[in-house]
Structure 1
C-alpha cells in the first residue's frame, strides 16, 4: 500500500522558540507538570517576549541542586551530570553535559526581580531533559518527563530498513512529503540519547533531528536525493527486545551497482531481491530495455570496464506508480546478450547477462493456437505483425535451424494457415506464421531440464454463443477459436455467471447473441485485470439462480454451462456456512494513516466502514471479530496475532490510499500469493463488487507484501477505498452514503466467497 500525506513543514528557529511558544503566557496560562496543575505553585513573568520562571521554584519542581553567587550574580544548577549556569546581564545559558560544553542564546537571560532570579523556562528545562507542549487554543503549558529515549538510528539489511531503537515504543506518526523525497517520523514525548550519533546520513540520505518543544515531540526528518517509495500500510514494523524496542521502516530495494565483471558478465546489483524483469530487445537500434519492478534508482555505482558486449548504459526511474526502474543498454557491434539463469549459485539480488551464444532450434510444432519449439540456449526474438497478407514474423536472433525443422508446416486451424521457417541472414532464423486474420499473441520462455521451451500463444476469439432449453436446464455453449485457459465463477447481487478467459480478444459485439431465454437477463463482456493478468470477461446476468454445472467439449474449445431451472435439479446446492471473519480497521489512535488535503484521517473512515461491515455480516448469520472497535492503536503484529489466535476463517483489512498526485484516484484490492492458495480468489470476489459498483476507477487486483495479509494464516485481503489525496474522493469518504455503500459491497464479496468456497 505506498501512501503519502501532504505535510506543511514549519521551520523552528532555535532562538525564536521562546517567543513562539510562550508569548501568550503573560496572561497567566495554566501550567501542568507531569499532568498536575502547578499554576499556583510557581512565580513567572515575561521579559523580552520570553517566559521566565523563578529559579527556586524550578529547582523545587525538578528537585535539582542550585547555588547562587551574589557577588558574581551567577546561578549554578546541577542534577544527574548536567550543569547549567546563568549570569545576570547575560543572554546566554552555559550547559555542561558529559564533558561537553554548550552556550545557548536566549532573549532575556537571567533577570533579577526584587532580588529574586528569574530564568528562561524553555531553554533551562530542555537542558535538564524535559519536554514542553504549549496548547495555544486553551493557553495551557505542559511540562513532561520524556516517555522514551532514542538510543540509536541505523540502516539494516543493506539499506532496505531503517531501525529506530528506543527504550520503549511511544506514540508515533510516519508522514511523507508531496515530492516523495522526505519522510517524517514524529515520536511523542521522546528525547535523543545524549550520546546519540548520526549513523544514517550518507551520500544519498540526510537525517535531521528536530525537537519541537511546544508540541512535546521529536521529529526525525529523513531527506533523500531521490523519491522514496514507502508504504505506510505495509512498511512500518515494531520489534520488542529485552532492553529496548525498535521501530523499523522498510523501504524498497535500491539499485546498488551496474558493472561488467571479470567474466565479462553484465551485472545489475540491488540492495535486496530483484523481481522478475521485463526485457525487450530493439534490434533496429541494437539496444536492450530492462524494466525492473519495485526497484529504486538509489545512489548506484557504474563500472563498465572495457568489454566485448556493452557500449553504454542509461538508468532512469521510469515510473513511481507503479515503481519501475529502467536500464537501457547499448550493445556493441550487433552483439546479443542473454540473461543468466538465476540458479542457486547466484545471488537473488543480482541480475546478470552474458554474451549471447548461437542457438539451435528444434521440435517445431503447432497445436490448439500455440506454436512451440525448443533450444539449447536462451533466444532473443524480434517479433512483429504484418497485415498484407496477415502474418506474424519472428526473427530468432543468433540462431540456426536444427535438422528436424521443416521449411513449411501445413496447419488446418481457424487461426493459422501454415508456419514457414528460413535462414534470414547468417545470424538469424525467420519464422513466419501465416494467419487467416491479424490477432494478438504472447511469447513465453521456460527452462526445464537444461532445455529452453518456447511458446507463441495466439489470442483466441469467441466464435459463437448459443443457448437452448429443456424442462430442467437452460444450456449455454460458448465456443472459441482455440483452446483457452478459463475460469467459470458465480457472483451474486445481482446473480451472474462469469467466464474469465485469458489470451482472448473481446469480439462479442461482432457475434449474433442468442435469445436470453427464461433465466438470462443480460449478456455483456469487458476486459479485466486479475493479478496483472488480462482476461476477457463474459457475463451472463440472471433473473433467477438455482444452481449450475460446467462441462467442456471439442478439446476444450466449447464451454458448456447448464443453468438449473429448479431447486431440486442438482444435488450439490450448498447452504451458507457460518464462518468467523476478522475485520481489521487500518491505523488508529496516534497513527492516523494517510491524511487528506482537507484533514480527513484514514483511521476514521476505516473504522466507520469496518463497524458497518461487522453489522452487516452478523445480520447474515456470520461471526465477526473486529481488531479494533474504537480509535485505538494496534501494531501490525497485534492485528495478525488477533486473527491467527482466533482461528478465523477469513481476514479483510480496510484502508484508504494516498499519493503525490491529487488527480489519482480509484479502488484497489490486495492479496499476498504466499498467504494461502485461496487469498487471490477471496480478494477477487471483494474487488469484483467494488470495481463495478463503487463508482471509482478500477485500479485492479494486486499481489503485495502488506504485513497483515502476508502473515495471517487464513485467506486475507486488504482493500484501499479511494484516495485521500484526491479532494473528490476525500469528500466521498466523509459521507455515510459512501461508507455504507462500500461496506455493503465488501460484504457481498465476502458472502459470495463463502457460498462458493465454504470460507476456506
Structure 2
C-alpha cells in the first residue's frame, strides 16, 4: 500500500507531465469568405486553433492577386508584397517581413498538402480589417483615410490638426514614464507616410504617426510633461479635421510689492476662471479650468501686505480634466479686481484691493473725447441704448465719493456728462449726446501718479463741415459734386478708386489715390464698421468707381468727411467685428487691407445642434400684459434661428416645430440620443415685478469649460444684437440643462411680463434680431 503522502506526489507529477503533452485543440471547418462586402468563396476550408483562425495561403494568390511561392524542400512560403518578400515556414511562428522579424499568433501548419497561415496576419500585411462570426470570414478595407497631420500656433493657442476624409471615431490615452499621449483613430489608414514633427516648445517634444495595426492609425505625442487639452471635430469642405487644442499654460506668477498686485503669465490669454471664498479656511481661491501649471515655484510667502500672507499654486485633476487652483491665504477678507494688462493680454493682473476710485470726468472739445479718471484699471462695460441718444458706461468695483455730479457741455456733439454711484459696487457715467455716434474706448496710464484714464473717443458726425451721413442709405453716403471740393488743380491729393477683391473666403480692400498719403484706420462697434480717414484728400469719385458690396461687406460709402481740415472718409459696413492685416505701408498711394474672416460657414458645416423652443401645447409659458403667449414667441424665434443655422450647413433638430406639448425629459433625451454638439433652449422671461427687464442666459450650477464659454459668448452676442439690458450669465437648476450631456444653455430673450419688452417680443424685427444674435453667438463659439 502506497502511503497517502506519496500517492499525492505521484498524482501531481502525472498531472504536470500530462499537461505538457496535451494537444492544442484544432477544429476543421468551412466558412464563407467575403472581401469588402463581396462573397468570393462560399465554402473555404479553414482550421481554428484555440482562438486563431488559419486559412489556406492560396487565398493570397487567388483573391488578393499576390505572388505566392511554395518551396517544398524546406516547407517554406514566400509572398511578394510590393517591394518586400515575406517568408514563413511550416511549424514556426516567426516570420521574416523584409528586414524585420515578426511573430505570428500561432504556427504555420501544413494540412492535406496546403499551408495554412493566421488570418489576422493576412489582414495586417494587406491593411485590411477582419471580422469572423457565425462561420463567416470578412476582410474589409478601412473607410477612413488619414490625409495629413499638422501642428499649428494660432491666435487662440496651439493645436494639432488631423485631417481625414470622413468623421473620425477616435480615442486618446495618456501614458507616463516617458510621458506620451496616444490618439488612436479607428477603422482608418494613412494615405501617405507622414514625417515626424519636431515641436520642442517645452511641453511637446515631437509628434509621430503610423499604422499601429490594421484599421488603426496611431498618433503619438512625446511630451516633456502631462498635457491638458480639448478635442473637437469640424467639417472643412469635403474633409474633417480632428483638432486637439492644447489648453493654456500658466508659465509665471509674480508679486509686485510696490503696487501690491499679482500677475499671472500664460502662453495665451486666460479667460475661463472662477473666484470663490472659503470662509472656514479664510482663503480666496482663483481656479482656471482646462489649464496647465508650468512654473518652478509653486508657493510665495507675502510680506508687507495687509490682506494676504501666502499664495500656493496647485495643479488639480478632476474627471479627466486639468485645472490650476491658486489659493490665497488671507489676513482679512478681500476681493480681486481682475483685468488683462493693456500692454500684454497674456498677463492677468489680480488686484486684491478690489475697489477703484472714480475721480471725475473731463471733456476735450478739440478732439471730442471724454476722459474718465480712475485710480486703477477698470473693465468698462458699455451699454448701447436703443432709445435716446445716450452712451452708458458702467465701471464695476468702482466708487465715486461725491455720489453724483454732472458736467454741462452743450456743444454740437455732447449735451451733458453725468456721473453717479449706481450701486454699492458700480459707478456709472452717462454721456448725453445730440445723436448716437461711433466711439472707441482706450485705457492709458498716467506715469506721473500711477492713475489711469479711460478715454472715450467720440466720432464727429454733426459738424457743418462734416457731411458723411452714416445712416443715409439712399445714395450710399456718396456726396454730390456740388457739396464737396471741386477738382480744381489746387487740390493735389484725391481718391481714384475703391475696390473689393473677393476670392473664395478671402476679402481684400483697396483704396487707390493719385499720390502717397497718410491715413488712419479705425474699427468701430455699434454698428460694426471699418473706417479709413485720409487727411488732405478730395473725394471726387463717380459711383462706378466705388466697389459694390459683396461677401461680408454690407455697404461701402465714400464722402468728403471734412472741408476744414480737408479729409476724405471711406466706410465699410460689416456684419460683426472683424480683424484685419494691413498690407500697405504707413504712407502709400494704395491703402490695402486683408480681412481676417473666420470660416463661418465651414465652422457650422456638419454640426449637430438641437434648438429647443420652450413650452408649447397645453403649457403656454408666461403670458404678457396684453395676452401674448411665451410659447408662440419662443417657437417663432427658434424657427428663425434654425433657418439661419441650416443655411450655414448645420444639422439642426428642433424639439418641437408646432404648438405641441413636449416633456422636459423628452427634450433632453432627444439631444442626448442625437449626440449633438450643443443644446440651445429659447425662452421669454417673466417676473412678478413689471419693471424687470433685460436679457440673460442660464447654465446648470457647476458648469464650466465649454458650457460657460458658450453661455458667455451667446449672452454677449444676443445682448449686442437686440440692445436690451445685459443681465449676464446665471446658474439655475433647470432640468434640460442638468440632463443634457453636451454644452447646454437656456436663453431668456426678454421679459414678456414687462409691457415695453412684450411689445418688442411681438415685433417680427426684434425676433429676427434675436435669432441673428443667437446665430452669431453659435458661430463665434465654434470659431473660438
Calculate the TM-score normalised by the size of structure 1: 0.43
By relative contact order (CA 8 Å, sep 6+), the higher-ranking structure is: 1
Calculate the TM-score normalised by the size of structure 2: 0.42
